[in-house]
Amino acid sequence: MGRGDLTRRELLAAGAGATFVLVTGCGGSPREEITAAKFPGGTSYDGPPLTLDFWNGFTGGDGPQMLTIIDAFTKEHPNVKVKMVTARWEDFYTKFPAAISSGKGPDVAVAHSDQLPINAAHGSIVPLDDLVADLGLSESDFAADVWQAGIYQDRRYGVPLDMHPLGMYVNTKVLKDAGLDPEDPPKDRASYEAALKKLKSKGIQGSWASPFLFTGGLQFQSLLWQFGGELVNVDGSRASWNEEPGVEALSWMKSLIDNGYSPENIGQDADNIAFKNGESAFMWNGAWGIGDYGATEGFEWSLTQLPQIGTEKAAWSGSHNLVVPRNNKPDADRMQAAKVFIDFVTQSPSWAEAGQVPARTSARESEAFKKLEAQSALAEEVPYVRFPPPVPGLADVRESTLDQAIAQALGGGVSVKEALDDSAKRANQLLKFNHEKYAA
Amino acid sequence: MNGSGTQLGVRRSTPWLFLAPYLVLFITFVAIPVVYGLWMSLHNWDQFLPEKPWVGLENYTQLFTPGSAKSAPFWSAMKATAIFTLFSVPLLVIIPLGIALLLNRRFPGRSFFRAVYFAPYVLGVAVVGILFRFMLDPNIGAFNYLLSKLGFAGDTPWTTALPWAWISLVGMTVWWTMGFNAVIYLAGLQDIDRQLYDAAEVDGASRWQRLRHVTVPGLRSVIVFVITVTLLASANMFGQAYLTTQGAPAEKTRTAIMFIAEEGFQDFHLGSAAAMSYVLALFLMALSAGVFFFFRDREEAR
């Protein structure tokens, strides 16, 4: 259990083994094996002692939190030990499928909801319909949208662990100094812009519009949904972010710069550091900010819902999901133990201490969770959080098209409409290509 | 004892045995991947899908079809690589030569300065990249802070707008790797016969003339080596842009290698990534051949 010295080396070894598969492409035929994988019934494990390999990207403050949950699990289930291996998420998603196809994958892992479709299409993870049936889980136990985000082509591939929506962090000291009431942060477009105007008169650029995915891209997606737009059309074959709502959303972000509420050409993470340094007042950031700001000594902040800039309430959200990787030689004992582990982890309210909002309603309504002030503020967004649609490869397409359009419009001298149209045009080709590739 | 026939025990197989270890490595890691990559580039190759449909030359033609989803970003990445190479190579060929000439003189603390100029090179690209990313950050970086303290404008977007991002990337690369080239030059300088300088001095050659007619010809093969190695290193630039600018603004500093890696390993389009690699490799081969041709010509003309 725990993260020993070996874990990094093991991950590297898995990566090296995977390189062979990467190059030779001989990973067997995933689809046949998937249909073969069946979970044994029941909700408990009393087979021989074993150690589960558990992979995820919890390299920050969330890692130790997960380890305490694993400790608690092992206390309750002494015959199941869990060995956790972490890698940065960026590396994780390239190594994970490679390790699985070379037969060196883990027994259970965590993946973001927007990465489920591509991993399902690649045959890297197995459907969990049996598993949730055995555990008696259903949509009513979860926030509806996060439950839906785990489904790809009518099959379930992930059990949601948490949600990490975008919220609005407030530098309360800056607000106080500017004569604004930090207890009553702006909730709509008019009050948000009024507050920014007032901050500007005190020499503070209150709301930085970052050209990077973190956090400008997430802000754009939230605004897109707020203005009634969507990233792609219903079947995921065409980009729709260049329609009217997208143009309004990005134009509003641009107006932050044009009105002097944000500097131009912001570096990656500079918006976050400036926020902590009191150079800005509002920060649209994910739930992971709770850990970051909480650890910053002497920093006075609060967390609230995103203001409603568009015509409806909406907030981007990601979600960590427990997944079961494909195994060429499925082992009923290990699968059963993984099922019990997944059930335990998703029920644990203590995961929220890492800054997350639990996906399971029972955990979210627990007393332990309600004591967490910042997380509970984010949980108020649950009725209207939005997840990217389950289109395989959409995250990659978005990154090479939309994310760049945002940067071009915010500082590259390209008009909002032109940047969005151009990126959508390229995205349509890539989406069509992916559609054909993964439909096969 | 070792009478007739083989001299010193050299058999026919001996050279092959000596070459074998490298040959094995070469075949495994160069020859096979080269052929295999070519095969890949003719398919729609997703390493995790069982079906890898044959697409012929489509992965190549899409790069040369204006308006296709792949051509614009690919050529933008090639352009980024070209810009970086164009500005970094001359600086990395000339500045280290000047440094080597200075460090080749006798003066107190010479060894110290030799170490100082070489020191950055021992740093990994991750260290250099992250160091500069924070020093050069437009809003919170130390560099702009110091500039503003000195009375200059402190709001230059060093990593987020052009041309500043290129100045930063070229500047940090020069700082980082010039020590390596300087050491190569220094070794070359120490190989030049002192008598040539003495003779030139007796003939009344000025310092410039000695540089022009003794040092530079004496270093010719070293210079060809430095240019070739620097050219390839610059054309393969990845880490600096990946860490410091993340390709920003938009994708303007995303180099060819960055784009190919994204295409192949993140977006799972290994076929088209392989095709792009071949196009890049052809460019680099032509460029290297050009360098050798240019210098060979001059040598024969002498």
Examine the domain organization and report whether A279 and A425 are in the same domain. yes
Say whether pLDDT at B77 is over 70: yes
DSSP string, A385-419: EE-----TTHHHHHHHTHHHHHHHHHHSS--HHHH
Write down which residue in A328, A347, A366 finishes a domain: A347
Residue B273 banded pLDDT, cuts 50, 70, 90: very high
What percentage of residues in chain A have a pLDDT greater than 90? 69
Give the residue from A205, A5, A27, A214 showing the smallest Cα distance to A103: A27
Q: Would you mind telling me the total number of residues written for chain A in this entry?
A: 440
Domain interval for residue A270: 166-317+389-439
pLDDT digits (tens, 9 = 90+) for A384-440: 999 999 899 999 999 989 999 999 999 878 999 999 999 999 999 999 989 888 875
Residue range A33-43, pLDDT digits in tens = 455 467 888 88
Span B72-301 CATH architecture: Orthogonal Bundle (1.10)
Name which residue leads in pLDDT, A250 or B267: A250
Structural contact between residues B262 and B238, judged by C-beta atoms closer than 8 angstroms:
no
Question: According to the model, what pLDDT value does residue B9 have?
Answer: 64
> How many beta-carbon pairs under 8 angstroms link A with B?
114
Which residues lie below 8 Å from residue A202, measured CB to CB, with a gap of 6+? A177, A178, A179
Q: Which of the residue ranges A9-13, A167-171, A331-335, B12-16 has the most confident prediction, judged by mean pLDDT?
A: A167-171
pLDDT score recorded for residue B300: 53
Q: CA-CA distances (angstroms) from residue B99 to B103, B173, B181, B191?
A: 6, 16, 10, 17
Is A78 a member of any domain? yes
Average pLDDT over residues B118-137: 94
Contact in structure between B276 and B260 (CB atoms under 8 Å): yes
Distance from CA of B140 to the nearest CA of A (A): 6
Whole-angstrom distance, CA of residue B172 vs CA of residue B18: 41
Partner residue facing B159 (CB), from A27, A267, A426 = A267
Compute the average pLDDT of residues A70-81.
Answer: 95
**Predicted confidence (pLDDT) per residue in A221-245, tens digit:** 999 999 999 999 988 899 999 999 9
pLDDT of B50 over the 90 cut: no
Which chain A residues are Cβ-neighbours of B141 within 8 angstroms? 267
Higher pLDDT residue, B125 or B68? B125
Same domain, A156 and A76: yes
Report pLDDT digits (tens) over B177-192. 999 999 999 999 999 9
Give the least confident one: A31-35, A114-118, A167-171, A327-331: A31-35
This model of the complex carries an ipTM of 0.78
Domain ranges of chain B: 72-301
Q: Which residue from B68, B160, B250 is facing A408, i.e. has the nearest CB?
A: B250
Whether A381 maps to a domain, the answer reads no
Confidence (pLDDT) at A13 = 52
| DSSP 8-state code for residue A188 | B
* A411 neighbors A208 (Cβ within 8 angstroms): no
Tell if the CB–CB gap between A267 and B69 is shorter than 8 Å: no
Residue A359 lies in a domain: no
B64 vs B140, more confident: B64
**Residue A90 has what pLDDT?**
84
**Closest approach of chain A CAs to the CA of B224, in angstroms?**
35
Neighbours of A72 (CB within 10 A): 14
Q: Which of A237, A262, A265, A399 to mutate to test the interface with B (most CBs of B within 10 A)?
A: A265
Residue A311, in any domain of the structure: yes
* Spatial distance between the Cα atoms of A148 and A153, rounded to a whole number of angstroms: 11
pLDDT digits (tens, 9 = 90+) for A155-166: 999 999 999 999
> Closest Cα of chain A to B272: distance in Å?
12
Q: Is A18 on the interface with B (CB under 8 A)?
A: no
Give the C-alpha separation, B300 to B288, whole Å.
Answer: 19
pLDDT at B44: 93
Query: What is the pTM (predicted TM-score) of this model?
Result: 0.85
* pLDDT attached to residue B2: 47
What does each C-alpha distance from B262 to A1, A62, A118, A291, B236 come to in angstroms? Answer: 34, 27, 15, 30, 15
> Has residue A26 got a pLDDT over 60?
no
Q: Does B217 touch chain A (CB under 8 A)?
A: no
The verdict on B265 touching A (C-beta cutoff 8 Å) is: yes
Of A201-205, A273-277, A411-415, the least confident: A411-415
A288 shares a domain with A170: yes
Closest CA of chain A from B18, distance in Å: 28
Q: Do A181 and A228 fall into the same domain?
A: yes
Are B140 and A21 inside 8 Å of each other by CB? no
Are A196 and A345 in contact by the 8 Å Cβ rule? The answer is: no
Q: Which residue of B has its CA nearest to A208?
A: B139
Interface of A with B in 314-343 (CB under 8 A): none
Cβ-based contacts of B43 with chain A (< 8 Å): none
Q: How many domains does chain A have?
A: 2
Cα B38 from Cα A366, distance rounded (Å): 58
Rg of chain B over CA atoms, in angstroms? 24
The DSSP output letter for B140 is: T
Q: What are phi and psi of A311, to 5 degrees?
A: -90, -15
Alpha-carbon span B211 to B205, nearest angstrom: 10
Q: CB B141 to CB A267 under 8 A?
A: yes
Q: Residue A8: pLDDT above 60?
A: no
Chain A contact for B81 (CB, 8 A cutoff): no
Residues A291 and A432 in one domain: yes
Is the separation of the CB atoms in A15 and A301 below 8 Å? no
A392 at B interface, C-beta within 8 A: no
Quote the mean pLDDT of chain B: 91
Confidence of residue B276 (pLDDT cuts 50, 70, 90): very high
Give the mean model confidence (pLDDT) for residues B78-86. 96
Mean predicted confidence (pLDDT) in B87-102: 96
A105 in Cβ contact with B48 (< 8 Å)? no
Q: Per the CB < 8 Å rule, is A122 touching B248? A: no
* pLDDT tens column, A368-388: 899 999 999 999 999 999 999
- Of A111, A103, A155, A141, nearest to A329 by C-alpha is A103
CA dihedral B105, B109, B110, B116 (to 10 degrees): -140
Most confident of A224-228, A235-239, B145-149, B154-158: A224-228
Cβ separation of A124 and B48 shorter than 8 Å?
A: yes
Given CB atoms, is B47 within the 8 Å cutoff of chain A?
yes
Residue B3: the pLDDT is: 46
- In CATH, what number is assigned to the domain containing residue A153? 3.40.190.10
Six-digit token string for B179: 């020590």
Taking the C-alpha atoms of residue A106 and residue A341, their distance in angstroms, rounded to an integer, is 13
Answer yes or no: do A393 and B268 touch at CB < 8 A: yes
The label of the residue with tokens 């329609």 reads A243
Interface residue B140 vs chain A (CB under 8 A) = yes
Task: For residue A1, tell me if it sits in a domain.
Answer: no
| Nearest CB partner across the interface for B69, out of A93, A408, A429 | A429
Do A122 and B49 count as a contact with CB atoms less than 8 A apart?
yes
